[in-house]
Structure 1
């Protein structure tokens, strides 16, 4: 059966393998094989959100993992340390960078050629954008792009104050290093998807990020369905998802490059 057939293979019920990339329990990656014959389109690295809180975990991204596998992608669903289970800054950002590097080094990744694309939601979008130099492209779904602004607006029930433990005035370098908008240019193709009705992360954050990224010379595309709320951004039945998959299907493999990241 080709990928163009109307009838898709059943989604895999569970990941093909689980990788550990560090000594701590949350430092794991579930790897899903593509559920179609032939080579995978590439590897999608999923990074969940939850405003850095431990009670939200990688299971949030399992519906997307299954959907992407059905459409020809191998998927690495990343877990990482968060506030309440050993995370903090810069540890949380370092975890995601380590996870992406671990995926890239595996035989599993080598068996699935094609681009390595980060797909992050909410603070997962923040973490994927900050890891862009290790990826061929990034899809940022309702991302947190400015942690200082997140702190000042009290978003996520004061999530930034809870997670960072200091204000932007007390530690400006911490907030700068954790803010994708302060790390431009990205130098990696990116797609930002953000609904106009989103209240958890207002769309104005992404609009400001988009303007700054394009001014810095980045190739950053933007989709903003009016009625897409925050959690619907990770619902594969949302009307926007075919457009997201189409964008991913056209990502080329980039030449390797090294850039320093203050977030790491």
Structure 2
């Protein structure tokens, strides 16, 4: 396995680490998995959470990009966190030639708050149509860039309005977005994966049955709202708690790996 670290911006949190399995001469990696860690968008949790997953995926023959990003409290929040997810994924286009990456297939694997960001970025083509021009300009989503072609969300926070109502993790949503939805309704809608439905890429909303950190309703309501689209999301329940999903030895994670491999096929 090879590991290569690259910056995609000037901030200490704007970097990613590429984990690559060995390739036969003349070969190309079949797509890339972008690993997006969770931690309720706060700076005390970082890319070390995603490192074991990226290493495991590379061990099973998949190129993986473990992405770090600014969080609320270290330069992120609104709009920095969202800008970084876009820029960090777009960096893959620059790395593709030198590392034999096929960026026509990019699967986002995100845990918890990372699940939110993974599904949000999969809807980047729809963000400009939400009628929220100010928010669109602030984030700078624009056209072009590397597109996510599939998502595996691991107990993702996929319904921001409901997460705010439940005051999850002591107001993590308002902390991410700089204030409550009553004060910033536009950015709350723009940041909510529910607003970008329907998507035209497959999303697996995997949720652990004993998850006490992110309620199953976060995945259930997202999947229900997606059902009218051409590519409805699928709900997948797995045994274990919130962190079983990012433990390579647990069945919950192994199911996620299986789904990632399916999306890259």
Residue 242 of structure 1 pairs with residue 249 of structure 2? no
Partner SS for 1:131: helix
Contact 1:194–1:223 at 8 Å: present in 2 too?
yes
Q: Report the equivalent of 1:190.
A: 203
| TM-score, normalised with respect to structure 2 | 0.83
Question: Root-mean-square deviation (CA), in Å?
Answer: 2.0
Residues 88, 241 of structure 1: alpha-carbon distance in 2 compared, 3 angstrom cutoff: closer
Alignment of 1:118-197 (within 5 A): 118-132=108-122, 133=124, 134-197=147-210
**Structure 1 unaligned runs (5+)?**
1-11, 254-264
Q: Contact 1:125 / 1:141 at 8 angstroms: preserved in 2?
A: yes
Distance in 2, Cα, partners of 1:235 & 1:212: 29
Q: 3-state SS of the aligned residue for 1:208?
A: helix
Give how far 1:39 is off.
4.5
Please, which moves more after superposition, 101-110 or 126-135? 101-110
**Displacement after TM superposition at 1:252 (Å):** 5.4
Partner residue in 2 for 1:27: 14
Greater alpha carbon shift after TM alignment, 183-192 vs 71-80: 183-192
- When structure 1 is superposed on structure 2, of 160-169 and 126-135 the one drifting more is 160-169
1:260 aligned residue:
none
CA distance in 2, matches of 1:62, 1:144: 21
Q: Within the alignment, does 1:229 sit opposite 2:255 as a pair? A: no
In the alignment, the residues of structure 2 paired with residue 39 and residue 241 of structure 1 have an alpha-carbon distance, to the nearest angstrom, of 26
Q: Which moved more, 1:160-169 or 1:51-60?
A: 160-169
Seen in structure 2, the aligned counterparts of structure 1 residues 143 and 33 have a Cα distance that, compared at 3 Å, is: same
- Once residues 42 and 238 of structure 1 are traced to their aligned partners in structure 2, the CA distance between those partners, rounded to angstroms, is 25
Task: Name the CA distance, whole Å, in 1 between partners of 2:50 and 2:120.
Answer: 19
In the other structure, the counterpart of 1:81 is 70
Indicate the residue corresponding to 1:100 in structure 2.
89
Match of 1:53 in 2: 42
What is the DSSP-based 3-state SS (H/G/I as helix, E as strand, rest coil) of the residue aligned with 2:208? Answer: coil
Deviations 1:170-218 (A, max 9, x none): 2111111111012111211111110122121100111110011122332
1:212 aligns with 2:229: no
Distance 1:219 1:146, change over 3 A: closer
Residue 148 of structure 1, CA deviation: 2.2
Q: Deviations over 1:229-253 (max 9, x none)?
A: 1111111111133333332223258
- Give the match's secondary structure for 1:185: coil
- Do 2:208 and 2:252's aligned partners in 1 also have CA atoms closer than 8 Å? no
Over 3 Å counting, the alpha-carbon distance change for 1:24 and 1:159 in structure 2 is: same
Between stretches 56-65 and 109-118, larger displacement belongs to 109-118
CA contact (8 A) 2:157 2:214 kept: yes
Q: Residue 187 of structure 1 aligns to a residue in which SS?
A: coil
Aligned residues: 239
